[in-house]
Amino acid sequence: GAVVSQHPSWVICKSGTSVKIECRSLDFQATTMFWYRQFPKQSLMLMATSNEGSKATYEQGVEKDKFLINHASLTLSTLTVTSAHPEDSSFYICSVNRASYEQYFGPGTRLTVT
Amino acid sequence: DAKTTQPNSMESNEEEPVHLPCNHSTISGTDYIHWYRQLPSQGPEYVIHGLTSNVNNRMASLAIAEDRKSSTLILHRATLRDAAVYYCILRADNYGQNFVFGPGTRLSVLP
């Protein structure tokens, strides 16, 4: 069964509004979760590393004030896209490490900003 | 992270074997070779990984060159469900590290 869930699976919002995406680790505790973004026909790009109980680490070029990450518990990390614009439309995917060699990815959330 | 090179796309006929190549000439001694695949509109899923020896699991086989500068993912009998983008990724055995994805190989399976 699924190890990582995301909610919602898709969302449409108006430009200027904020959207929250949840990532849940279903059957184990995850101190670290990763957030990726994938534009059409492109590969996954790491946005940030979410650490339970501390601030997220953002990749170069990712605005931390625009993409707010909260990892308040060992099973939940949230990504909030603030003041969304059409260029933020993308497929957002989270992942967790379960073993040293295996990373589980969520099913993804497709965000469309109109 | 050391870089990998994969063909942009490949085609296979259903029920035939598929060999997906990956070149990683700058691989270091501590790098594991990981393969993930991404079905349309889904998150990536683990396929297989290895260090030096060939590996088999229920999904696929991984053949690693003796000098480790290349590897091949083998799907023994392609099905339509195997149509996906396959990513070959190198990563040191570091629990806390993310994966760095390249463009991967888009596999099409023809009925």
CA distance A28 to A67: 25
Check if A50 contacts B (Cβ < 8 Å): no
Give chain B's mean pLDDT. Answer: 93
What is residue A101's predicted lDDT score, i.e. its pLDDT?
Answer: 67
Q: How confident is residue A98, by pLDDT bands cut at 50, 70 and 90?
A: confident
CA distance B34 to B96: 15
Check if A103 contacts B (Cβ < 8 Å): yes
Check if B59 contacts A (Cβ < 8 Å): no
By C-alpha distance, the chain A residue nearest B85 is: A43
What is residue A30's predicted lDDT score, i.e. its pLDDT?
Answer: 85
CA distance B48 to B53: 12
Is the preceding peptide bond at A86 cis, omega within 30 degrees of 0?
no
Q: How confident is residue A56, by pLDDT bands cut at 50, 70 and 90?
A: very high
In this complex, the residue of B34, B45, B104 whose CB is nearest that of residue A101 is: B34
E strands, chain A, are 4-7, 10-13, 19-25, 32-38, 45-51, 57-58, 67-73, 76-81, 90-97, 103-105, 109-113
E strands, A26-86, are 32-38, 45-51, 57-58, 67-73, 76-81
Q: Looking at the predicted structure, is the pLDDT value of residue B22 above 80?
A: yes
**How many CA within 13 A on the CB side of residue B20?**
36
What is residue A1's predicted lDDT score, i.e. its pLDDT?
Answer: 62
3-state SS assignment for residue A97: strand
Are residues A34 and B87, on separate chains, in Cβ contact within 8 Å?
A: no
What is residue A77's predicted lDDT score, i.e. its pLDDT?
Answer: 94
What is residue B18's predicted lDDT score, i.e. its pLDDT?
Answer: 97
What is residue B95's predicted lDDT score, i.e. its pLDDT?
Answer: 59
Contact between residue B89 and residue B96 where contact means Cβ atoms under 8 Å apart: no
Query: Where do the H-state alpha helices sit in chain A?
Result: none
Number of H helices, E strands in chain B: 0, 9
Contact between residue A107 and residue A8 where contact means Cβ atoms under 8 Å apart: no
Residues of A in contact with B88 (CB under 8 A): none
In this complex, the residue of A46, A93, A97 whose CB is nearest that of residue B43 is: A93
- Nearest partner of B35 among B26, B24, B25, judged by Cα: B24
Least confident range from A70-74, B52-56, B104-108: namely A70-74
Residues A91-107: what's their mean pLDDT? 86
pLDDT-above-90 percentage for chain A: 75
Contact between residue B73 and residue B22 where contact means Cβ atoms under 8 Å apart: yes
b/e map A17-31, b = 16+ CB within 10 Å: eebebbbbbeeeebe
Are residues B98 and A49, on separate chains, in Cβ contact within 8 Å?
A: yes
Give the CA angle between residues B9, B15, B16 to the nearest 5°.
Answer: 60
What is residue A27's predicted lDDT score, i.e. its pLDDT?
Answer: 83
